[in-house]
Every structure is written in C-alpha cells, then in structure tokens.
Amino acid sequence: QVQLVESGGGLVQAGKSLRLSCTASGSIFRINNINDMAWYRQAPGKPRELVASITRGGSPNYEDSLKGRFTISRNNAKNAIYLQMNSLTPEDTAVYYCNAKVGIVDHSIWGQGTQVTVSS
C-alpha cells in the first residue's frame, strides 16, 4: 500500500507563510496508480475539511474560502504534493493531512498529519 508522509508544519505568526510537503512511497506499481491527491485539515472539535485537491495531471481545485491564499502543486517525478499557505490566520490552525486516491476504485490513503499552529 502507498504510504504518505507530511512535513513542513510548525508554529508561525499570523500573516506569514508555510509550505507543506507530502511524499508518497511504496512499490512502483502502487506509486504509479496514485490518482488525485489532496490536502485536508482538521481543527480540534471540528470535522476534517478539504483544503485543496489536485489531479494527476496537475489540475487544482480549492475550497472557495481558501482560494487565493493557498496553492496546491504536484511533482510526479518526486511523488509529492505541496501546499503553499500565505497570509495565515489563527483560524488556519489545524492538523493538515495528505490524501491520495489509489487504483481503479480510488482507495483512499491518509498521511499521519502535520500540525500547523498560527499565533495572533
């Protein structure tokens, strides 16, 4: 099965930026069968929400409220996706999770998450 590892989270002041990375690993067969990938986030006591997704071909989609501040990108050669987060606010504080859809039935794979904390 594909494994996902996130990195780049941390503590940052409001108005600043962070760049998250997610790298997929596994067998060549499994890596080659990754379809769409996405970033989700979950704040304490709140449901997990989609932040942005990106197709294998690099076409992005964003949650409307985040469009313009966050940018998702993909590097298939590195088996990675990224999330550039600008103008961060305390409301962006959450655990950010990487997600991948794998195979014919789009089996969902999750990373363990990376904590983003934005101070006021």
What integer pLDDT is reported at residue 39 of this predicted model? 98
Could you read off the pLDDT tens digit of each residue along the chain, which spans 120 residues?
789 999 999 999 999 999 999 999 998 888 889 999 999 999 999 999 999 999 999 999 998 888 789 999 999 899 999 999 999 999 999 999 999 999 999 999 999 999 999 999
Q: Which residues fall within 8 angstroms of residue 20, CB to CB, at 6 or more apart?
A: 6, 7, 8, 9, 39, 82, 83, 85, 96, 114, 116
Helices (H) and strands (E) in the chain, counts: 1, 11
What integer pLDDT is reported at residue 11 of this predicted model? 98
Q: What angle do CA 30, 70, 79 make, to 5 degrees?
A: 20
Bridge partners, 49 (sequence order): 41
Q: Which residues fall within 8 angstroms of residue 47, CB to CB, at 6 or more apart?
A: none
Determine contact, residues 73/84, Cβ cutoff 8 Å: yes
What integer pLDDT is reported at residue 30 of this predicted model? 83
What integer pLDDT is reported at residue 116 of this predicted model? 98
C-alpha–C-alpha distance, residues 64 and 23, integer Å: 25
